[in-house]
Amino acid sequence: MKHHFYVTTPIYYVNDEPHIGHAYTTILADVLARYSRMEGVRTFFLTGTDEHGQKVERAARAAGITPQEQADRTVVRFKALWKKLEITNDDFIRTTEERHKQVVRLVLQELYDRGEIYRAEYDGWYCTPCERFFTEKDLVEDLCPECHRPVERITETNYFFRMGRYRDWLVEYIREHPQFIQPDFRRNETLGFLQQELNDLCISRPKRRLGWGIELPFDSDFVTYVWFDALVNYISAIGYGVDEKRFRDWWPAVHLIGKDILTTHTVYWPTMLRALGLPMPRTIFAHGWWLVGRSKMSKSLGNVVNPMDMAEKYGVDAFRYFLMAEMALGQDAEFTEESFVRRYNTDLANDFGNLLRRVVSMIGRYRDGALPGPRNADEAAKLLNDPDVESLRAKLMLAVEGMERGLQEMRLDRGVAGVLSAVRATNRFVEHSRPWDLARSQKHAELDRVLYVAAESLRVTSGLLSPVMPEKMAALRRALGMKAVDPKMQELRSWGVLRAGMEVVDIGPLFPRVVTDDEKADGTASGRSGRSDRGRGKRKNSTSGGTKMENAREDESREEVVTYDDFSRIELRTAKVVEAERIEGTDKLLRLEVLMGEERRQLVAGIAQHYEPDDLIGKTIVVVANLKPAKIRGVESRGMLLAATRGENLRLLTVDGEIASGAQVR
Ligand code: MSP
């Protein structure tokens, strides 16, 4: 087991307000920090802001304020966003703070005294947006190799860090430590970069060109290059050179970064640390980009996603969930509001929310809000003699292991998917056990078992997701009557933690379904699902939604009712029969060709004993349009028609009057 975990985000520039990319790295770090605490590992989570340099100076000039004012104004936005997003950072470092500047000066002086920094004439190409120098051969078609913008030729005296001398050592180190740069393809990218000669790093800017930075301790005509200043935050925040014990206590770190800042973190930073005689970071993990649709997010395209708006509109936890579930770490991911809503409705409103509603309302209805089931560990263990219960428990344990593996491999998306699959398995378990029938036939012990097992599943799955959705999962655990709303991993690996008699509280829908604009236009969503709550669970502060959230209070535990969500997944459409014939070798089946709007489809229907093929031509019937295609007697059927049957009698459902084919049936 790791004995401690120190995790960092990049420190963000204060030239502009935070966007979804910044939010992503910070939420990721938060989720990892929360899991680590859950494992009982001592954890330190650092984020902060990068406040010096040209970018900030320029933004300040454009706004007609000083760079410090620019930083002070923007940092508030970052801090407010982290608060809103439930970020549990242990420290927030600003590079304009004295505690940081002091360490930067100390590092510079130390390296200067040791001859690692020297003064020389420099002649090179400078990219202002990237704030980096490049040599002639670095340029790509005379443009900056990083951002592809024009570069300026600059000749001036500067200070240099002897980075070049560490190339061979660094290559060796990277090769021998596969965990050092992750994912693999990013490691190869850095190794590729290191194939060429590694230049020394220019670490100063003459004050006459840039005033906004930390003055070099050995030459007051210069300020420190912003990257050299910024990277030091990772050690200044934990007391390097000031509180040695504290520093040794936390270092080395796991650095989370975006792929845009790979070279600075995997080449500049390790060589700086090496020159200082410090251990290397444990891991530098570079994630991909959030794209908006297929495009890069940019102010000029006007497609920048504001995380505050998303959190306001859909809830913080849902936003956190989407970001973690959707991005395969390392790869780019696409953000669209549509995909957000789709995932929200499927995973959270339907699968997860549904399970909670079922459990809570049935315990309310059948057991007056008190959890039935085992009173001690032995009784809980006995439940596992039932193969269905044991198989569900095994699935839950798979979800626990899957999450642990996901964390090790930095594939949180897989960990989260594993939990959702356990949730779905539990929903199937409930459906298959038919508790409403058990209640009707007074099979008390069996009913209690089903309710208890489903509640146990909620305990484990909510615990596993609590680092991702801390507030909602805590609410859920409170609803189950649990006091320990901040779970420990050990608890999640155990079976039978809930005890009979715990007070189960109906807190209303945890994830109110989001009604899409399409559904609104159809007038199909609200109003239909608002079944009154008949459960006797004690209802507390229902989280009724805003304009977009529908406060659906289904109570599908009543007999075999389905929710409106369930029903609305079935797409019923009108279809006009244009061809019909018997299928050879059977006396029951007909092959039909129908028109549904523009679409022509083939169906197989077991109605040959009730209708002559010719009688069907021209009829407008009703078809389940989204049924999974199936082959019946070798003939593909893409949909199913609806008919009323009683005994031997069968009559097709048709439409009363004229309506276009392909019309929705509701
Ligand atoms: N100040 C430097 C970092 C210094 S660290 C010692 C910097 N700041 S930044 O404000 O530009 O933030 C860059 C980081 O923001 C990326 O590395 C990444 O973590 C995050 N993201 C910014 N845009 C992003 C996306 N579109 N998608 C995902 N994350 C991205 O660079």
How high is the pLDDT of residue 517?
66
Angle at alpha carbon of residue 184, lines to 183 and 190, rounded to 5°: 100
Taking the centre of ligand 1 as the mean of its atom positions, its distance from the CA of residue 242, in whole angstroms, is: 28
How high is the pLDDT of residue 541?
34
- Give yes or no for a contact between 538 and 363, defined as CB atoms under 8 angstroms apart: no
Pick from 203-217, 357-371, 507-521: least confident: 507-521
Q: Is 260 in the pocket of ligand 1 (CB under 6 A)?
A: yes
Interval 232-253 mean pLDDT: 98
Question: Confidence class of residue 600 from pLDDT cuts 50, 70 and 90?
Answer: confident
Question: Confidence class of residue 132 from pLDDT cuts 50, 70 and 90?
Answer: confident
Tokens encoding 414: 């897989």
Residue 353 predicted with pLDDT over 70: yes
Interval 433-457 mean pLDDT: 96
Angle at alpha carbon of residue 161, lines to 196 and 94, rounded to 5°: 110
Residue 263 predicted with pLDDT over 60: yes
Bridge pairing between strands 42-50 and 254-258: unpaired
Interval 378-388 mean pLDDT: 94
Which ligand 1 atom is the nearest neighbour of the CA of 296?
26
Question: Confidence class of residue 300 from pLDDT cuts 50, 70 and 90?
Answer: confident
CA pair distance 503, 484, nearest whole angstrom? 14
Interval 523-550 mean pLDDT: 36
Question: Confidence class of residue 617 from pLDDT cuts 50, 70 and 90?
Answer: confident
Strands (E), 495-545: 505-506, 538-539
In 3D space, the residue among 512, 534, 147, 176 whose CA is nearest the CA of residue 356 turns out to be 512
How high is the pLDDT of residue 646?
73
For the chain, domains (ranges, CATH) are 336-492 (1.10.730.10), 513-652 (2.40.50.140)
Best-predicted range by mean pLDDT (16-30, 284-298, 536-550, 616-630): 16-30
Distance of CA 609 to the CA centre of its chain: 54
Instruction: Determine the length of the chain.
Output: 666
- Give yes or no for a contact between 554 and 529, defined as CB atoms under 8 angstroms apart: yes
Question: Confidence class of residue 87 from pLDDT cuts 50, 70 and 90?
Answer: very high
Q: Is 231 in the pocket of ligand 1 (CB under 6 A)?
A: yes
Candidate of 7, 13, 334 to mutate for ligand 1, largest count of ligand atoms within 8 Å of Cβ: 13
Candidate of 8, 24, 269 to mutate for ligand 1, largest count of ligand atoms within 8 Å of Cβ: 24
Residue 556 predicted with pLDDT over 70: no
Which ligand 1 atom is the nearest neighbour of the CA of 10?
5
CA separation, residue 377 to residues 148, 183, 274 (Å): 64, 43, 54
How high is the pLDDT of residue 531?
32
Residue 278 predicted with pLDDT over 70: yes
How high is the pLDDT of residue 165?
98
Taking the centre of ligand 1 as the mean of its atom positions, its distance from the CA of residue 180, in whole angstroms, is: 20
How high is the pLDDT of residue 535?
35
How high is the pLDDT of residue 265?
98
Pick from 241-255, 534-548, 572-586: least confident: 534-548
- Residue 634, classified by CB atoms within 10 Å of its CB into exposed (0-12), middle (13-18) or buried (19+), is exposed
Interval 404-408 mean pLDDT: 95
How high is the pLDDT of residue 561?
60
CA pair distance 143, 64, nearest whole angstrom? 30
Which ligand 1 atom is the nearest neighbour of the CA of 12?
10
Strands (E), 196-309: 201-202, 204-206, 215-216, 219-224, 254-258, 283-287, 290-292
Pick from 127-141, 147-161, 437-451, 532-546: least confident: 532-546
| Torsion angle, alpha carbons of 356, 357, 362, 363, to 10 | 50
Each residue's pLDDT tens digit, 32-85: 999 999 999 999 999 999 999 999 999 999 999 999 999 999 999 999 999 999
CA pair distance 33, 46, nearest whole angstrom? 10
Interval 443-465 mean pLDDT: 97
Taking the centre of ligand 1 as the mean of its atom positions, its distance from the CA of residue 258, in whole angstroms, is: 6
Instruction: State the pTM of this model.
Output: 0.80
Residue 528 predicted with pLDDT over 50: no
